[in-house]
Chain A
Amino acid sequence: MKGAALWIAAALALSAVAFVLGPYQTDIYRKLLLWITLALGYNFLFGISGQVAFSHFTFYGIGAYAIVILIFQAGLPLPLAAAAGVGLCVVLALAVAIPATRLDGFYLALATLAFAQLFVVVLNEGGAVTGGTGGLASYRLPPLFGARLDGPRYTVVIVLLLLATLAVLWRLDRSHFGRACRAVRDNPEAAAAMGIDVRRTRIAAYAITSALAGIAGMVYAFVDNTVNPPIFGLENAFLLLFMVIVGGSGSHAGAIVGAALLYLLPFVLSPLIGHHHALVFGVVMVLVVLFQPRGLVGLADARARRRAAP
């Protein structure tokens, strides 16, 4: 099993990093892993399934808030709270996708934009349940089956989350379902003529990726040990979109590259040019869309092909 060995090697290597980092780098590393996880899911939704939705980061927030509220206010044990959180994400995803996919793709964009805004309003107005504008803070991850997961061990949890997310999406992508998603993206009419239920395929892709975002959100909740409304606003939803486009939409590698680049870029640029890094983002975005719609990965592919052809 060469494939399995590769996955285990990746898990070991990414986990090993966790044990040599200081507190500041650990925080950056954990968030990098989480951004990559999110970008992988969003790439499946936007790049592979072709659905323009702005709710991916919102489901990340729903997962984060849900697990905190369910454990510390409803008093559920951690595994039960996690299962309920996933269930909540799937139900909400279906509630958004079922009516939205009845209409043209444009309405999914509108519906998810409205949903993302509504979520922030609910967080701000949620009183004691959501903690209002200040959010929820000063909670700690309860021990899981007697083990306390903190420090580098929690970073390992995030590594496993990333790899599990990638494995799920990888397998789906390389199946008849992934092919159906791409076919629906490229040509819904022809896809239907080939026996693909276009709506069901869209709804399934939306629900699965939204649930994955929710699971990532649950893990995130115990990274900062605080959840508050500004994190889950539209700014990060658009950053996620930029990550996928810059990296190369439709490609897992592209999502990883895009997420790493755009997440780490401010750390490099801020000391040099301060807050103007947003300007660099904008310029990079425009250049990619104009000159390399297949993203950085597309650029690498084109170069490899040129080298292969004499």
Chain B
Amino acid sequence: MNAPLLRARALTKRFGGLTAVADLDLEVHAGEILGVIGPNGAGKSTTFNMIAGATAPTAGSIDFDGAPIAGRPPHEIAARGIMRTFQHNQPFAGLSLAENVMVGMHTRFSAPLWKLIAGSRAAQRAERDARARAEALLDFVGLAEQRADDVGTLSFGQGRLLEIARGLAGEPRLMLFDEPAAGLTPAECERVAAIIRDIAARGIAVLLIEHDMRFLMALAERVAVLNFGRKIAEGAPAAVRADPAVLAAYLGSPAGDAHA
């Protein structure tokens, strides 16, 4: 297999005396969907935040496309081609849907401020192209009809779709999904799963952390299971599901049953 796009080695995060993530190794390849699951407090979100740059790891390394990114700020990580969605939708409330998506393209604009002030033709063209691309992306996630609406009028599920369109706008090579199924109706889950498959089919690497077992098992090609900050299993969904350590830690628990 060729070199992974994202490679985390011995990733560790300690908050004071608490070790949230310990010695974690993760790899994601282009076009692959890697799912990370685990009970509450297993370190999923911390892992996610370290990759996205929201928190710096205490130890260990994260390489993206061969370059070290551990501890870099989120805007720099986004510029390198890692975009994310939020578990609790985080739209820009004062912007239209299309403008929300265009914010996701921020790193693709290159005109310096003086050129914007001077009214450069190239900058104006870039702006028009961006708007057209934003509308195409809204189309892709199925929000074309809501294009002109206020962000505040969207349902929770539509807000999630907007998050996905906004993330894709940055032309990511790795897309991070933070519990994309959380709070969605079954129909909306289907829709999001189809979109994620579509994204991976375009050659974009996908890493998603998820609570909802059924959603994740049907979607991921590979699953890593965390428990108390450590990886206790990794492999194809079916193999992981049968792993005794996983059953004991997660699937066997009442919370696991509720989702399975």
Contact = CB atoms under 8 A, between A and B. Distances in A.
A172 interface: yes
B185 interface: no
A23 B37 CA distance: 76
Contacts of A174: 127
B103 A179 contact: yes
Which bracket fits the contact residues of B? 35 or more
Contacts of B102: 176, 179
Contact of A193 (B84, B113, B117): B84
A168 interface: yes
Interface in A165-185: 168, 171-172, 174-177, 179-180, 182-183, 185
B105 interface: yes
A91 B74 CA distance: 28
Given A177-B113, A183-B92, A192 B73 contact: yes
A208 B52 CA distance: 31
Contact of A179 (B93, B99, B123): B99
A101 B100 CA distance: 24
Binding site of A, secondary structure by majority: helix, strand, loop or mixed?
Answer: helix
A64 interface: no
B83 A196 contact: no
Contacts of B119: 171
A175 B106 contact: no
Interface string A237-272: 000000000000010000000000000000000000
Given A192-B73, A193-B74, A187 B106 contact: no
A194 B113 contact: no
Contacts of A193: 52, 54, 74-75, 78, 83-84, 86, 90
Interface in B151-184: 166, 170
Contacts of A250: 94
B104 A194 contact: yes
Contacts of B99: 179, 182
Which bracket fits the contact residues of A? 20 to 34
B167 to A, nearest CB: 8
A68 interface: no
Nearest to B116: A175
B194 interface: no
Nearest to B99: A179
Nearest to A189: B90
28 contacts: A171-B119, A172-B116, A174-B127, A175-B127, A176-B105, A176-B127, A179-B99, A179-B103, A180-B103, A183-B106, A186-B91, A186-B93, A187-B90, A187-B93, A190-B86, A191-B103, A192-B74, A193-B74, A193-B86, A193-B90, A194-B78, A194-B104, A194-B106, A195-B75, A195-B79, A196-B106, A208-B113, A250-B94
Given A186-B95, A193-B83, A196-B75, 10 more contacts: A176-B111, A176-B127, A183-B92, A187-B90, A193-B54, A193-B90, A195-B79, A195-B170, A198-B75, A250-B94
Interface of A: 168, 171-172, 174-177, 179-180, 182-183, 185-187, 189-198, 204, 208, 250
